[in-house]
Amino acid sequence: MKYTPEKDSLKQHEVPEWFHDAKLGIFIHWGLFSVPAFAAEKLTLGESQKRGVDVHMKNNPYAEWYLNSLRIDGSPTQKYHKENYGEDFSYDGFAQIFNEEIKKWNPDEMVDLFKKAGAKYVVLVTKHHDGFLLWPSKYPNPKKEDYYASRDIVGELTEVVKKKGLRMGFYYSGALDWSWNPNPIKDGEGFRINGPSEIKYTKYANNHWYELMDKYDPIILWNDIGYPPNTNVYEIFAYFYNKHPDGVINDRWIQFHKSEFKHPKVRHRDFATPEYRMMPDITELKWESTRGIGYSFGYNKRETEKDYLKPDELIRMFIDIVSKNGNLLLNVGPMADGTIPELQKKAIIGLGKWLEINGEGIYGTRPWKRAEGKTLDDINLRFTQKSEILYIHLLDKPQAKNLIILSITLAESKNIQLLGNKGDLMWKQIGENIEMLLPDSLFDSAAYVLKVY
């Protein structure tokens, strides 16, 4: 169909099957903030915000917010910056260092790692809140000269991602651009008023989105925080869908500022994007949980192994998300030269190895009639399904050979297989439960998947 820039037209768009099937994407936060690679706190977003927005902003655990933290007097970031770079060294000075470091970047190696992790799509931050561009735009920043990467990171990565069979999406910071506004966000009100509201910026952001779509042809539009006023973002959506009926758009396009220009409130989205959060149950709306492997999206060199997700934790989290109609957009924060830190690799390679054995219970599945369950010995379960096949995910290792799954009824004709193990398991229905006999020797795994077919 031909989409028009009205809500009634756009709401006819359905989430494409490929996005339901994919389950795992890789997010990349990489930019000038990767040079200092510093955030004082090592807390989850929720824990940080509980201390109050003002305290959170001054001690932001997100390393990609370095510039905002630097501008807040008395912040740990400001102290760190003065001690390590001197009082006269501006944030813009990181551009020269970054542009020298990215000469070492190998996009093929980066994408090979993502494939090894089992990812099906990639979302690259093309411009974060600091305003630095990762591509040579025809619409350069009017506030700062040469404020873009010396390599076409967007173009080079997109080419390799598509060549290796993954899908490509772009993140863009729509509402915030600190190269246009020197005042830091210190509190909740700052989120609403900090974004540049002049029409010149709105045109700048619009031009970037159209340029990214026309030049690099993404299949995911991932805007952040919100979008500037005095424009109808449905025009962007319709243009994108008419290029890619199988494309998807996220939910962060709310236009905060009031103006005389009459545009619709943005309520259209293909999927929700809870950050460092998951859903308690199956949701009808498609969603994508987004988070870093540690506490930050941008690389924070202060984070140690204990601050990163262990492979087992990541695997169980991922299963829970998939069972509730979610995807996981797992972030990597490269160092300035594009290297993914070894501690981040450890988690995602562990996930990839698990998926090599158990991926059929993840990819292409849909939620079952319920997401959660229990065994008699209190092992947590998650369920997924694919056509007539049910997958039961055990989130811990059974200690007994006899496994009893509570509150499930199966037809007598069904077979049960343990993925990664040859042959079918013996099983029987006992009232409302099923009992099965596991192999004598059970291999070590973060989670075990039973295939009922």
Residues 278 and 189 in one domain: yes
pLDDT of residue 50: 93
pLDDT of residue 245: 97
Residues 326 and 409 in one domain: no
Residues 223 and 140 in one domain: yes
> 179: domain range?
7-361
Rg (CA), the chain: 23
Interatomic CA distance for residues 290 and 278, integer angstroms: 9
Interatomic CA distance for residues 174 and 237, integer angstroms: 14
Residues 153 and 209 in one domain: yes
Scored b (16 or more CB within 10 A) or e, 213-225 reads: bebbebbbbbbbb
Residues 348 and 373 in one domain: no
Residues 137 and 82 in one domain: yes
- Asked whether residue 1 is domain-assigned, the answer is no
pLDDT of residue 262: 55
* Sequential pLDDT tens for the chain (453 residues): 799 999 999 999 999 999 999 999 999 999 999 999 999 999 999 999 999 999 999 999 999 999 999 999 999 999 999 999 999 999 999 999 999 999 999 999 999 999 999 999 999 999 999 999 999 999 999 999 999 999 999 999 999 999 999 999 999 999 999 999 999 999 988 888 899 999 999 999 999 999 999 999 999 999 999 999 889 999 999 999 999 999 999 999 998 765 545 566 778 999 999 999 999 999 999 999 999 999 999 999 999 999 999 999 999 999 999 999 999 999 999 999 999 999 999 999 999 999 999 999 999 999 999 999 999 999 999 999 999 999 999 999 999 999 999 999 999 999 999 999 999 999 999 999 999 999 988 999 999 999 999
Backbone angles phi, psi at 37, to 5 degrees: 50, 55
Residues 380 and 312 in one domain: no
Interatomic CA distance for residues 94 and 91, integer angstroms: 6
Domain end among 361, 393, 426? 361
Residues 278 and 387 in one domain: no
For 342, counting Cβ atoms within 10 Å of its Cβ (0-12 exposed, 13-18 middle, 19+ buried), the class is exposed
- Asked whether residue 230 is domain-assigned, the answer is yes
Residue 437 belongs to domain with CATH number:
2.60.40.1180
- 3-class secondary structure, 277: coil
Residue 335 belongs to domain with CATH number:
3.20.20.80
User: Is residue 365 a contact partner of residue 374, using CB atoms and an 8 Å limit?
Assistant: no
pLDDT digits (tens, 9 = 90+) for 24-50: 999 999 999 999 999 999 999 999 999
Residues 355 and 372 in one domain: no
Backbone angles phi, psi at 248, to 5 degrees: -135, 150
- Asked whether residue 2 is domain-assigned, the answer is no
pLDDT of residue 258: 55
Interatomic CA distance for residues 348 and 333, integer angstroms: 12
Tell me the angle at which helices 153-163 and 199-216 cross, rounded to the nearest 10 degrees: 30
Interatomic CA distance for residues 26 and 107, integer angstroms: 14
- 3-class secondary structure, 427: strand
- Asked whether residue 20 is domain-assigned, the answer is yes
Tell me the angle at which helices 342-358 and 107-117 cross, rounded to the nearest 10 degrees: 40
Residues 332 and 433 in one domain: no
Interatomic CA distance for residues 420 and 92, integer angstroms: 52
pLDDT digits (tens, 9 = 90+) for 137-166: 999 999 999 999 999 999 999 999 999 999
Residues 350 and 442 in one domain: no
Residues 320 and 373 in one domain: no
Interatomic CA distance for residues 320 and 248, integer angstroms: 22
State how many domains the chain has.
2
For 355, counting Cβ atoms within 10 Å of its Cβ (0-12 exposed, 13-18 middle, 19+ buried), the class is buried
Domain end among 361, 388, 421? 361
Domain end among 361, 396, 426? 361
Backbone angles phi, psi at 113, to 5 degrees: -65, -40
The closest alpha carbon to 408, from 439, 374, 378, belongs to 374
Interatomic CA distance for residues 444 and 191, integer angstroms: 46
Interatomic CA distance for residues 377 and 38, integer angstroms: 44
Largest pairwise CA distance in the chain: 76
- Asked whether residue 186 is domain-assigned, the answer is yes
